[in-house]
Amino acid sequence: MKPTKTLMCTMAVGAMIFAAGKVSATPGVVNVSGTALTQTDSHPSANIYVAKVTKKSFKTKDILNLLAQGTEYYFGGNQGWFTNKASQLVYDPDVLNINASANYSYDVYGIFYVTNTSTHASYALDGLDESDNYFSFVEYDSYGYENLTDDGLGFWSDPSLGENEVTSYKENNAKSTYSATSTLHGLAYIHDNPYAFDITANPSYVFDNGKALIIRGLGTFGYSDNSTKSTESFTMSGSGDGYFSSDDSYPVITGKVTFKAKGPSKE
């Protein structure tokens, strides 16, 4: 499913273009954690066959390692700094993505990238390759979040995940404050083949990756603005699968994805 308005994307490495009339919230850190259940088969002796299930935890550093391998394989350059202690997976929900907008022929907002707080290095996780083909290593799909803000939160809008949502909000016109929280279905997809994106429209694309992580579950989206500062956030917990282990096993995954950003008011 193509995004109706938004997608998690990026222009050139480190470049950020702001949409006219908008003030972007400060980019926020994305954290990913969970466990992967994997199966190992063995044949210890004649007529004996054994399969064991092992549980291995993963966290953002493991995701950054996956991305380092994918970016290096497809685009060259040693991205080993992705896993340095000061490196982070970052998302900016309010930036107009020039390349993605051109690819889909309408405005697309949002950036995922890896940055390092010490060296200030930055690497965009989507964009255009040397042949002007669009690519993306990270996506977060959901549907129905647009009423949180006029511009949404910058994710792919996909009704195949479920169109319903429930929202609580409070608006005080006298004080120029607004806050809202919505709960709806979502899907996080992080993978090492940048051309195997748009997973909800093309489920088989996961098999085109060397390593990939899929988490499906309920996402909680939050937004607040008090005319001085704004905050945007999401938290999603769920389960999924993919290819996530060096032993070529097929894990069953449970995990959590979180994000929070704050910055100047967008009003």
- Look at residue 163 and tell me if it is in a domain: yes
- Residue 224, pLDDT > 50, answer yes
pLDDT, tens digit, for every residue of 140-151?
888 766 544 444
Q: Tell me the C-alpha distance between 181 and 145, whole Å.
A: 10
Band of pLDDT at residue 38, cut at 50, 70 and 90: confident
pTM of the full predicted structure?
A: 0.84
The two structure tokens encoding residue 31: 């954290």
Is the CA virtual torsion 63, 64, 65, 66 positive or negative? positive
- Look at residue 52 and tell me if it is in a domain: no
Q: What is the pLDDT, as a whole number, of residue 151?
A: 47
**CA-to-CA separations, 182 to 108, 247, 252, in angstroms, rounded:** 21, 39, 27
- Look at residue 94 and tell me if it is in a domain: yes
Q: Tell me the C-alpha distance between 87 and 67, whole Å.
A: 12
Residue type at 101 in one-letter notation: S
Residue 194's closest CA among 53, 44, 70, 61?
A: 70
- Look at residue 7 and tell me if it is in a domain: no
pLDDT, tens digit, for every residue of 140-181?
888 766 544 444 566 767 777 887 888 899 999 999 999 999
- Look at residue 89 and tell me if it is in a domain: yes
- Look at residue 165 and tell me if it is in a domain: yes
Contact 113, 125 (CB under 8 A): yes
- Look at residue 53 and tell me if it is in a domain: no
Q: Tell me the C-alpha distance between 60 and 72, whole Å.
A: 18
- Look at residue 251 and tell me if it is in a domain: yes
Q: What is the pLDDT, as a whole number, of residue 48?
A: 97
Report the mean per-residue pLDDT for the chain: 82
Residue 105: Cβ within 10 Å count: 8
- Counted domains in the chain: 1
What residue numbers bound the domain in which 178 lies? 28-40+59-264
